Structure 1
Amino acid sequence: MEMTGYMLLRRLLLVYGIVLLGGLIILQADTMLVAPSASAGLRIPQLGNLAFALVMALVIAGYSAWRMRPVLKELDQQNGKDCTGLTSGALLRLYRMPYELLISSAVIGVLYSIVYHAETAPNNDTWLQLLGQVAGEQSLFISLAIVLFTTTRRLFRPVMRLQQLPDQFDGRTSIAQPIVLTYACTMLVTLLSLLQLTFTTAKTGATIDPYKLGLIASFYFIMSIALFSYVTMQFRQELRGLIRGIRGLVAGQGLPSGALPAILHDEAGELAVAYNELQIRINREYESLERELKMAYNVQQKLLPPGDLTIGAYRITARCQSYREVGGDFFDVVSLSPNRFAVMIGDVSGKGLPAALIMSAQLLIFRSEIRRNGSPSEVLARMNRQLCEAMGEEGSVSIGVGVIDLTTNEVQYASAGHLSPYIIAQDGRVQAVECSSLPIGIDPDATYEEICFEFNNRDRFLLYTDGLIEAVNQAGQMYSFDGLEAELASWQPEEDLTQTVDNWLARMDHECGAGMDDRTVVVLELAGEYRSSLASAATFDNPFMTREWAMRSKLGDEKLIALKLGDWMKERWPNTDIYEDVQSAVCEAMINAIEHGNKMQPNAYVNVIAQIGGMLMVCRIYDEGGGFYPKLSRDEDEMRKKLESEDPRGWGLVMIDTLADYWTTGRDERGFYTELYFMRKSHSVSEAEAEAEAEAGAEQAAQKGV
């Protein structure tokens, strides 16, 4: 509250004048009811009642200005700013001032009666009249005193604000004190008025008029009710503000801005201070939670792939909008080999931080499981068992997984309770892909349906979560599947995919607002024909064929991969003598990856990608460790450096060099790899010719970015 010392003093003078005028009205009413004759009531010598009231107001105002000098000085120093910075001494003076006015008014009344009636010696005929006059005078002065007390207290109360109570006020005051004091004074005034009526009536020898008695009782009853209401009005306002603040916190409507005014000397003030302290603590915890949620949001966003990707001939646009800071929707795009990639979308049951934690775990589990090979349905089955073991029945996740072959545009798709995706053809036809099973995390023995289909050129494929179709517009209508299908049918194939998706989501935000659930969409578009970069690196008799195998870091399993590789080679290269060399070199590279790359960690994987053409075979062995980048050189000095190198990878590479026609190492987004080149050798090809062809093919492939 903004107030200067002059403003406070001016308001005090106005209050005093109004109160004294009210006292004159009470005096007139009392005279009419109790002592109609001019002899009763308060006598004011030679001055009119109005002049006397003004003089009394000036006297009391002067006294108040003298007593409140520290308060007025501090208010003037604050230049009208919020007066919550008053010192304890000034606040103590404000608190005591209404009580001083009450006591001084009552004392003035007693002194007035003593001085005025001191020269009058009562006798048997006048003592009843004297008692009646004194009772009337004291009734009037006490009435003025209690009215001054309540009005000045109400005037000072908004000024007396602090964030914490000074120590000298603890346990010294109560909300009951002014109420009890007001009640006692009004009862005393009523009693004195009745005594005045009794003495005045007894002097004349008449009986007490019940009508007058009822009027007196009613008048002072109404006055007491008004005073009680006036005293408790500020308490009620403060308690209502406190109740509104607490209900707002309970209802989750956020924290109110600013603190409640704390009055220093009663239970309402202590409640306000306690509430302010609670609000400060909650604000701190809320700010800490906001920081943590922001960090969690940043981590969650970093776990997700970029929103705009191009893989081969496919353009991918994905958007994930969380209802809260973090959410349970997620998606992923994972490259499995040069010719295959996986796309996934998921929705964790629930919202907020618990859903975000499950989402992060499932995203990492998916990336691990999808690289272990297996169809989408097998990946979902493994993820389901892990989630059931970890969470029991406390969490479920709906997931849709598709694996796309870049060379054939064939899609393997499986769903665990997720919404059916849509294919949007170039001619505008919209077709739902019906395939669903139980969400993961419900039944550890659940199996998952899988279907296969192919994309045509310019087809689009939409994956989405339920927050999209459950959005409600301002008219209360749900977006629904019908609205989604109508939107998809309106898409123009010549329009840019990213622009189409962004415009669509912007319209939804405008029509439906933020909604009550996360919204995620992933859209794939087949934008042309795909040609493998490895296949285009050199000219071969027939197109490249690709196979991929994965194994955990367990010595001995590399032999199984080598056997599968040998069987596949015999199908593609039936007349060659290098089966054993290829198998031995790949085994050595895998052992090197297990021991020195993955450090024998059983949960780390080794992946083997083999591509075979008419005359050239390339095998790339990935691990999850580190390594150096040796030069593309096979001279003796370079090999000696590898033998002497502290990096243990160099030891195995020496043996590989004797088996492969060419080799190199490197790193890409999948990890560290060793790449082996083998030229096809038949019985009619000499070793010198084969080696020359291998080096020429490798150099040509390296120049074209293999």
Structure 2
Amino acid sequence: MNHTIFTRAKELDLPVLRKIGREMIKGREGFDTIELPQTGKNLLYYEPISSTGWSLGVIYPYKEMYASLQMLNVLIVALSIISLLLLVFFNFTIVNRMLGPLTKFARSAREVAEGNFTAELPKITSKDEMKELHDSFEFMQRELSEYIVHLKETTSAKEKIESELRIAKEIQMGMIPHIFPPFPQLNQIDLYAVLESAKEVGGDLYDFFLLDEKNLCFAIGDVSGKGIPASLFMAVTRTLLRSLAHKDKSTAAIVSEINATLCQNNDSNMFVTFFIGILDTSTGELRYCNAGHNPPLLIKKEGKTSFFEITKGIPLGLFSEFIFKEQITKLSGGDKLFLYTDGLTEAENWNKELFSDNRLLSVLQNSHANTPENLVKGVLEAVNQHVNGNEQSDDLTMLTILFKGSAKQEISLDNEIEQLKTATTWIEQSLELLNIPQTLEYTINLVIEEAFSNIVFYAYEPGQKGKIDISLDVEGEYVVIELKDQGKPFDPTAMDSPDTTLPAEQRQIGGLGVFLMKKMTDQVSYNRDNLTNQLTIKKKITQ
């Protein structure tokens, strides 16, 4: 059966084929795409044949045209996948070869970090960067092992030194007094001291001890340098002080002998600033000598605070022929001495500001009424607030002595009026010992004379033997006079006061002396206890 392009276009319902047929009749050439049931998508190419006047069309299915190209694509994809797999394999092999030792190195590094400095390292046969890393790790292991051995030896030696320093500090602190109050049997004084070393052991020193029942020797010093050498020099100085103070009561002589001894074989050229004082607790007399030390401060009872006027001298241990001078002053009841080393006034805060003399004066004036212990602790607190945690380079030492006044003065006399002369002499001596102003001597004499006479004439029968005990003491701002006897009960305060408005010839005999005694004093009281008459008289001290 013959078909034309137009019949096939009609049969297949392909307008595009009909269009191509018309183009072929017109003698044109070209190509177009058509869909056929048997072959699917096709390429139709048409061109006229000039010799016959016909047009020829060729249909070429896309499947056949691209078959080789699709095969090529499949081949390319397959080759790409194979290449990618090979690349991944080779990369994994190379990376594993490179990172494998690194992983082992990391494992070894963890063991080293945990303290196993002999941890096995991975074996490296190549001569590349991994070999350099291996050698570096090996060197680090050797160095760490040697360092730890050296560190253990150093730590052991350091602990031994620290232990020895702690023992040295205990020995040093054991050499200085640290029990307060040190002399509970001595009522005339109170004192307190503190020593804080900038290092384990230092060169500051303080000391105090009794030369006899009434003389207190005290000293403070500051050795040049720090540490063990300074502490040894301090120990020698303190030992010399204790040895020489009992032999010679002159402070200048004591200092001179200490200086001469320290100058011998002093190849290290060390020295110590030194202040020594000997206080007679019965009189308040203070003899002292200074060897280049900071002047102490005198804190009066009323609060006035000032530096001692001292002869400076030179530190001990420099010149054996130097002549030191003794000075003498007298303390009043309630006076305090404040001695210190320069580690106090030279204490620095973070801004390099010194604590200074002015701050010290201010603190002492504001706390002058405190006990020696509270005074020292108050100054220490002020210094700590000033430095605000800044580490100090110098030792700090303070010593405060309170002179309360002489002890109670007592005498026992026969109940004879002739004993008044002895009483008068005793009163004069006692007033001086108690530092009572001489302006009160007349009043006290008159009061005791009147009270003594009353006891002789009224407490005892004529010819009866007995004793009259008299005491003088200072309690705060009052002089306290006590008279005791074992005569019959007699209360002079119960006697009627005479009428001083009457003429002398009209007054009742007696009572005038008691009247004057009451007028001239602040308080007169009587008590009868255990067959003992006790008359107590108080007179306010006025300067």
**Could you say which TM-score interval applies, normalised by the shorter chain?**
0.5 to 0.7
- How many angstroms apart in 1 are the aligned matches of 2:368 and 2:346? 25
Does residue 528 of structure 1 match 2:528? no
* Deviation at residue 510 of structure 1 after TM alignment: 3.5
Cα offset, 1:153, TM superposition: 2.0
Contact 1:321 1:518 in 2 (8 A): yes
AA partner of residue 375 (structure 1): S
Equivalents in 1 of 2:360, 2:117: separation in Å?
60
Residue aligned with 2:199, SS:
coil
Give the structure 1 partner of residue 225 of structure 2.
350
**Which amino acid in 2 is paired with 1:326?**
V
| Aligned residues of 1:163 and 1:273 also touching (Cα < 8 A) | no
Question: Are residues 537 and 437 of structure 1, via their aligned partners in 2, closer, same or farther at CA, if it must alter by over 3 Å?
Answer: farther
The answer to whether the Cα contact below 8 Å between 1:397 and 1:441 also exists between their aligned partners in 2 is yes
**Structure 2 residue 102 is matched with structure 1 residue 150:** yes
Is 2:328 aligned against 1:452? yes
SS of the residue 2:278 aligns to: strand
Change in Cα spacing, 1:404 to 1:173, as seen in structure 2 (3 Å) is farther
Shift of 1:326: 1.3
Residue 181 of structure 1: aligned partner:
128
In structure 2, relative to structure 1, the CA distance for the partners of 1:180 and 1:356 (3 Å cut) is farther
- Letter of the 1:146 partner, please give it: M
Distance 1:538 1:164 in 2: 93
Kindly indicate whether residue 247 of structure 2 is the aligned counterpart of residue 379 of structure 1. Answer: no
SS in structure 2 of the partner of residue 308 of structure 1:
coil
Give distance in 2, aligned partners of 1:466 and 1:180. Answer: 68
CA distance in 1, matches of 2:211, 2:411: 20
Query: In the TM superposition, what are the counterparts of 1:569-584 in structure 2 within 5 Å?
Result: none
Matches within 5 A, 1:406-421: 406-421=281-296
Partners of 1:393 and 1:179 lie apart in 2 by: 63
Shift in CA distance, 413/316, structure 1 to aligned 2, threshold 3 Å: same
Q: Distance in 1 between matches of 2:169 and 2:207?
A: 16
Contact 1:330/1:520 (8 A) holds in 2:
yes
Q: Does 1:402 align with 2:272?
A: no
Change (3 A) 1:440 1:335: same
Is the 2:221–2:293 Cα contact (8 Å) retained in structure 1? yes
1:268 is the counterpart of 2:268: no
Contact 1:328 1:352 in 2 (8 A): yes
Alignment-derived partner of residue 362 in structure 2? 486
Question: What are the equivalent positions in structure 2 for 1:564-643 lying under 5 Å apart?
Answer: none
Q: Do residues 461 (structure 1) and 337 (structure 2) align?
A: yes
Alignment partner, residue 313 of structure 1: 188
Q: Compute the displacement of 1:500 (Å).
A: 2.5
Output the CA distance in 2 between the equivalents of 1:481 and 1:403: 25
Aligned partners of 1:146 and 1:182 also within 8 Å: no
Of 390, 395, 398, 1:518 maps to 395
Return the structure number with greater strand share: 2
Aligned 8 A contact 1:399 1:416 in 2: yes
**Structure 2 residues not aligned, in runs of 5+:** 1-74, 430-543
- 1:328 match: 203
Cα distance in 2 for partners of 1:306, 1:383 equals 24
AA partner of residue 353 (structure 1): I
Relative distance call for 1:448 and 1:312 in structure 2 (3 A) is farther
Q: What is the CA deviation profile of residues 372-398 of structure 1, one whole-angstrom value per residue up to 9, with x for unaligned ones?
A: 114111111101111111424521111
User: How far did residue 284 of structure 1 move?
Assistant: 1.1
How far does residue 422 in structure 1 lie from its aligned partner after superposition?
A: 0.7
The alignment's TM-score, normalised by the length of structure 1, stands at: 0.43
Q: Do the aligned residues in 2 keep the contact of 1:396 with 1:440 (CA within 8 Å)?
A: yes
Q: 1:324 to 1:456 in 2, by over 3 A?
A: same
Structure 2 CA distance for partners of 1:536 and 1:401, relative to 1, 3 Å: farther
Cα deviation, 1:149-185, whole Å, max 9, x if unaligned, reads 335423542234575755x97xx999xx79943278x
The one-character-per-residue Cα deviations of 1:244-269 (angstroms, maximum 9, x if unpaired) are: xxxxxxxxxxxxxxxxxxxxx61111
CA contact (8 A) 1:305 1:333 kept: yes
Measured after TM superposition, the shift of residue 49 of structure 1 is 4.0
- 2:355·2:386 contact (CA, 8 Å) conserved in 1? no
Query: Which residue of structure 2 lines up, in the alignment, with residue 286 of structure 1?
Result: 158
Distance across 2 between alignment mates of 1:305 and 1:497: 15
CA distance in 1, matches of 2:318, 2:236: 17
CA distance in 1, matches of 2:413, 2:206: 36
Q: Secondary structure at the match of 1:515?
A: coil
Cα distance in structure 1, aligned partners of 2:80 and 2:107: 30
- Give the structure with higher Rg (CA): 2
Match of 1:426 among 290, 298, 301: 301
Measured in 2, the distance between the counterparts of 1:447 and 1:349 equals 21
Question: How far did 1:427 drift?
Answer: 2.2
- State how far apart, in whole Å, the 2-side matches of 1:365 and 1:141 are: 86
Question: Deviation digits for residues 556-600 of structure 1, max 9, x if unmatched?
Answer: xxxxxxxxxxxxxxxxxxxxxxxxxxxxxxxxxxxxxxxxxxxxx
Q: Deviations over 1:487-546 (max 9, x none)?
A: 1121232x33312221321232233135221110000111232258xx879999787x9x
| Alpha-carbon distance in structure 2 between the residues aligned to 1:317 and 1:308 | 7
Residue identity (%): 22
Shift of 1:143: 6.0
Q: 1:424·1:430 contact (CA, 8 Å) conserved in 2?
A: yes
CA contact (8 A) 1:307 1:319 kept: no
- Partners in 1 of 2:158 and 2:331 — Cα distance? 49
Closer/same/farther in 2, CA of residues 373 and 283 from structure 1, 3 Å limit: same
SS at match of 1:426: coil
Q: 1:359 aligns with which of 231, 234, 243?
A: 234
1:407–1:531 CA contact under 8 A, matched in 2: no
CA contact (8 A) 2:275 2:289 kept: yes
Across the aligned residues of Structure 1 and Structure 2, the Cα RMSD in angstroms comes to 3.7
Query: What is the Cα deviation at residue 308 of structure 1?
Result: 2.5
Q: How does 1:632-671 map to 2 (within 5 A)?
A: none
2:266 equivalent in structure 1 = 391
**284, 298, 311: which one pairs with 1:435?**
311
**415 and 151 in structure 1: CA distance in 2 versus 1, 3 angstrom threshold:** same
- CA deviation string 1:595-649 (max 9, x = no partner): xxxxxxxxxxxxxxxxxxxxxxxxxxxxxxxxxxxxxxxxxxxxxxxxxxxxxxx
CA displacement 1:29-52 (0-9 Å, x = unmatched): xxxxxxxxxx99xx89759549x8
Q: CA deviation at 1:318?
A: 0.6
Give the match for residue 277 of structure 1.
149
1:313-333 deviations in whole A, cap 9, x for unaligned? 111111111111211111111
Provide the C-alpha distance between the structure 2 equivalents of 1:179 and 1:452, rounded to a whole number of angstroms: 92
Query: CA–CA distance in 2 between the matches of 1:510 and 1:178?
Result: 67
Q: What 5-or-longer segments of structure 1 have no aligned partner?
A: 1-38, 57-108, 110-136, 185-227, 236-264, 546-706
- Given that residues 421 and 464 in structure 1 are in contact (C-alpha distance below 8 angstroms), is that contact kept between their aligned partners in structure 2? yes
TM-aligned CA distance change 1:374 to 1:178, over 3 Å: farther
Q: Is the 8 A contact 2:284 2:406 kept in 1?
A: no
